[in-house]
């Protein structure tokens, strides 16, 4: 890592779901920019911590189920006890279950699990991070929603879409509540990014091609393109931005028809 002060120098950041996929890319980028990183995940994160440490950064792992209140509270306590405060919460953890479909055939169990992780997990992260941020002089919360919070998905996924709409609305509400207390809260809304989660959900080439036809730029996004958006929202570069939705989607939400 560079000795030059980064855009997150002196900041402590919790990244939920940081052991793999978009979370890992974000964790490594935030570390390169000077943040001390807490990887909070149900999946072991020692490999990410080792990679960050080897590159000259600072990181720690805490096992955390974002749908469990005690687990989230403990993760925030771990961050404060390890690094002395908290300035950034990147609420990245989420699920897109393969059984998620239309409203008539998506089971209540699939719906509830999606809501527990994507919505309740975001709420719990904010619930316990905010007091720690206030004690640290303020901070930035980045909640991962989705472009489907703004428009319906081409492939039926009613639980996921509903959950991300809830995240978007919750973000606005929390942002207004804490706007004068030094805490900013914004949503990051990615389009389809080729991560293991999306690859598993899409399954075959037919499903992938059906998605691609709706993307004006003609390709899936790269994880670093989303991590760069998260970095902007987490950093002081977005210091007069709160309650907003940053859409990074290859032009999907801008298009009425897709170019041939």
pLDDT in tens, the chain (260 residues): 444 579 999 999 999 999 999 999 999 999 999 999 999 999 999 999 999 999 999 999 999 999 999 999 999 999 999 999 999 999 999 999 989 999 999 999 999 999 999 999 999 999 999 999 999 999 999 999 999 999 987 789 999 999 999 999 999 999 999 999 999 999 999 998 987 767 776 667 777 777 788 889 999 999 999 999 999 999 999 999 999 999 999 999 998 765 55
Number of domain units in the chain: 1
Dihedral in degrees, nearest 10, Cα atoms 4, 20, 122, 141? 10
| pLDDT at 1 (0 to 100) | 45
**pTM, 2 dp:** 0.93
- Domain membership flag for residue 210: no
Active site amino acids:
160
- Domain membership flag for residue 29: yes
Residue 155, exposed/middle/buried by CB under 10 A (0-12, 13-18, 19+)?
A: middle
- Domain membership flag for residue 212: no
Strands (E), the chain: 12-16, 36-41, 58-63, 88-91, 139-144, 183-190, 245-248
Sign of CA dihedral 193, 194, 198, 204: positive
Range of the domain at 28: 12-190+222-239
| pLDDT at 233 (0 to 100) | 98
- Domain membership flag for residue 163: yes
Sign of CA dihedral 129, 130, 136, 137: positive
- Domain membership flag for residue 183: yes
Residue 205, Cβ neighbours under 10 Å: how many? Answer: 8
| pLDDT at 214 (0 to 100) | 83
Residue 159: CATH number of its domain: 3.40.50.720
- Domain membership flag for residue 82: yes
User: 59 and 27 in contact (C-beta within 8 Å)?
Assistant: yes
| pLDDT at 4 (0 to 100) | 56
- Domain membership flag for residue 60: yes
- Domain membership flag for residue 168: yes
């Amino acid at each position: 890592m560079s000795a030059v002060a980064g855009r997150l120098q002196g900041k402590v950041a919790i990244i939920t779901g940081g052991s793999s996929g978009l979370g890992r890319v974000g964790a490594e980028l935030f570390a390169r920019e000077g943040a001390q990183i807490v990887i909070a995940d149900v999946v072991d994160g020692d490999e990410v911590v080792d990679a960050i440490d080897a590159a000259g950064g600072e990181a720690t792992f805490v096992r955390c189920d974002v749908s469990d209140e005690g687990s989230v509270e403990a993760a925030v306590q771990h961050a404060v006890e390890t690094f002395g405060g908290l300035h950034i919460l990147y609420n990245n953890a989420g699920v897109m279950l393969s059984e998620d479909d239309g409203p008539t055939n998506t089971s209540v169990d699939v719906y509830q699990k999606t809501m527990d992780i994507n919505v309740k997990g975001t709420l719990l992260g904010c619930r316990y991070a905010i007091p720690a941020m206030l004690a640290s002089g303020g901070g930035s919360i980045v909640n991962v929603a989705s472009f489907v919070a703004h428009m319906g998905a081409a492939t039926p996924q009613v639980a996921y879409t509903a959950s991300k709409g809830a995240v978007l609305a919750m973000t606005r509400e929390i942002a207004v509540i804490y706007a004068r207390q030094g805490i900013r809260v914004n949503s990051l809304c990615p389009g389809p990014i080729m991560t293991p989660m999306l690859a598993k959900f899409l399954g075959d080439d037919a499903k992938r091609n059906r998605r691609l036809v709706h993307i004006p730029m003609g390709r899936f996004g790269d994880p670093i393109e989303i991590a760069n958006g998260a970095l902007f929202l987490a950093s002081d570069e977005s210091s007069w931005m709160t309650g907003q939705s940053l859409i990074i989607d290859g032009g999907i939400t801008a298009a009425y028809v897709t170019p041939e």
